[in-house]
Structure 1
Amino acid sequence: MNILAISGSASPKGSNFNFLAAIQKSFEDEYFISIYNQLSEFPLFSPDHLSKGIPTIVQEFKNEIEEADAVLISTPEYTHNIPAVLKNMIEWCTHSGEFSDKKIIPITFTPHAPRGEHAMQSLLFSLKALDAKVLTQFPIYKTDVEVKNQAIELSADVKEMLKTALELL
């Protein structure tokens, strides 16, 4: 199964990217997981851009979504919402339908509870507008994992939760 993992952070090599890398490593024998962390390079969406043509980086990303069997989104919470780069990506995909009926597992990866709750609500609203097929969603906190030299190691509990979620695919 081909899974596209999207880091919703404005920081390309931040903790959400490292969290997805830990998932990729933990499940490499069962799933092909590629990580996309270039949302900060997307131009700001404007309907005017659509008439001028889709920028190459955005079109390549849209192709990756279409080719994926499922999408895993990991996002932090910025000011009780999803980061602007993630919202911008969603806006680029609003009219073209890449997320329609696509299997999605959204995760908030934040420092501690209850952080992430508002971001998850916002993300779910947007995914619903895109007609995405959200299979499950959940928060994971940095207190649930171990960080060593910026690499994240998943606990047995987190691995089990992720395994159960991925089996829904």
Structure 2
Amino acid sequence: MKILALYGSLRAASINSAVLRTVRYLAPASIEVRLFSGLGDLPLYNPDLESTLPAVAKQLRNEVAAADALLIASPEYAHGVTGTIKNALDWLVAFEGFVDKPVAVLNATPRAQHADTELRETLITMSATLIEAASITLPLPSANIGEAELLAMPEIVSLLSGVLTKVQRAVKWLPDMKPYLSSSLYIDSQHPAIVAQAAKLAEGYSDEEAIAKRCFEFVRDEIKHSWDYRLNPVTCKASDVLSHVTGYCYAKSHLLAALLRANGIPAGLCYQRLTIDGDPPPFCLHGLNAVYLEPYGWYRIDARGNKPGVAADFCPPLEKLAFPIMNSLEQDLPGIHAEPLPAVIKALTEHQTVEQVYHNLPDIDHQNQSV
């Protein structure tokens, strides 16, 4: 696998270039990390030069196209990214070889939050695939240290080695897993609050199974089921579920999917069709999740929230869901969905109170299996 590293400072003693050289040193034989050293030679971007591309701009585009992923580290100048890195990205805006390119962002200075946010926004606007799990802020004690000092810090070595592992995993899974790693309107895994909570849950853990379990238990135990606790407002977006600390099973599954995706773990949505009162009819949908874990593959988990008679757990490869199928008319609906079913969105967005949702729970056409 090939990673192209871009650093946004031209200083010889730049901490950002030192970080990327450290990453190159730590890379295993299976990963080639190449630092692009020509950003200072790029002329200011001018669309008129597209027909006769400067040699250094052509080289940049060729190396971006050949790379499996990009790794960018840039300092902050006056609450923004440097002109160096912005100019490089300007040369890539109209370049097809950049679209959907996996990109991870390293922030070498914890106080440089403005540039980090701005850089992420630019990359997303340019249709890059931001690898959130590998985009981290390093807890460096000083900006005046080099590779030798970085390599002598076990925590930094561990974090940067983890970045390489997560980039490699993302490249391996894309594009097949892209729908299950993407941020969207209701599974807004790139929302700052989601990213922060996902990072908090993953802190101190490198194993994806352990991280997935932490995310599952957080949503199951800390986010209150709206009907169990009679809590308003009705939530749907993952970030709203996190903000209000409540949601129906469907909304809780949106939050769990977002937290997993923010940690670079593929996650989707699953549904069951269950009786409401124990004897049919009526029926309603029940929302849960599937997470992709090596070596198990897709594994269903149910973060609905436990209560007397409900004891869902995370114990792969054994499934322990909230509700077993009790009769021939109930069923596990087929498929793993990257996005919520329209009937679920309708129920959660067209009703104002949890009582209204309860009396209008989503269901499907049993004969046609349509929503």
**TM-score, normalization: structure 2?**
0.41
- Deviation sequence 1:82-137 (CA, Å, 0-9, x none): 10011001111101123211111111212xx3x22111111111101111111122
Aligned to 1:153: 150
Alpha-carbon deviation of 1:31?
1.6
CA 1:12–1:56: 2 relative to 1, 3 Å:
farther
Q: Mapping of 1:8-157 within 5 angstroms?
A: 8-11=8-11, 14-51=14-51, 53-110=52-109, 113=110, 115-136=111-132, 137-143=135-141, 147=145, 151-154=148-151, 155-157=153-155
Contact preservation (8 Å) 2:15, 2:145: no
Alpha-carbon deviation of 1:19?
1.6
Alpha-carbon distance in 2 for matches of 1:151, 1:99: 33
Query: Secondary structure of 2:60's match?
Result: helix
Alpha-carbon distance in 1 for matches of 2:33, 2:67: 9
CA RMSD of aligned residues (A): 2.1
Alpha-carbon deviation of 1:152?
4.3
Contact preservation (8 Å) 1:13, 1:37: no
Aligned to 1:167: 165
Alpha-carbon deviation of 1:28?
4.2
Query: Secondary structure of 1:143's match?
Result: coil
CA 1:161–1:144: 2 relative to 1, 3 Å:
farther
Structure 1: 5+ residue stretches without partners: none
Report the AA paired with residue 27 of structure 1: A
Alpha-carbon distance in 2 for matches of 1:165, 1:23: 9
Alpha-carbon distance in 2 for matches of 1:36, 1:16: 13
CA 1:165–1:123: 2 relative to 1, 3 Å:
same
Alpha-carbon distance in 1 for matches of 2:70, 2:36: 10
- Matched length: 164
Alpha-carbon distance in 1 for matches of 2:27, 2:142: 18
Alpha-carbon distance in 2 for matches of 1:6, 1:104: 11
Contact preservation (8 Å) 1:10, 1:83: no
Query: Secondary structure of 1:118's match?
Result: helix
Query: Secondary structure of 2:127's match?
Result: coil
Query: Secondary structure of 1:73's match?
Result: strand
Relative contact order, higher structure (CA 8 A, sep 6+):
1
Alpha-carbon distance in 1 for matches of 2:140, 2:39: 22
Structure 2: 5+ residue stretches without partners: 169-371
Contact preservation (8 Å) 1:145, 1:152: no
Contact preservation (8 Å) 1:9, 1:76: yes
Larger radius of gyration: 2
Contact preservation (8 Å) 1:17, 1:37: no
Aligned to 2:326: none
Alpha-carbon distance in 2 for matches of 1:103, 1:19: 19
Aligned to 1:3: 3
CA 1:100–1:147: 2 relative to 1, 3 Å:
same
Contact preservation (8 Å) 2:8, 2:84: yes
Alpha-carbon deviation of 1:158?
1.9
Alpha-carbon deviation of 1:145?
8.7
**TM-score, normalization: structure 1?**
0.86
Greater Cα offset, 63-72 or 30-39:
30-39
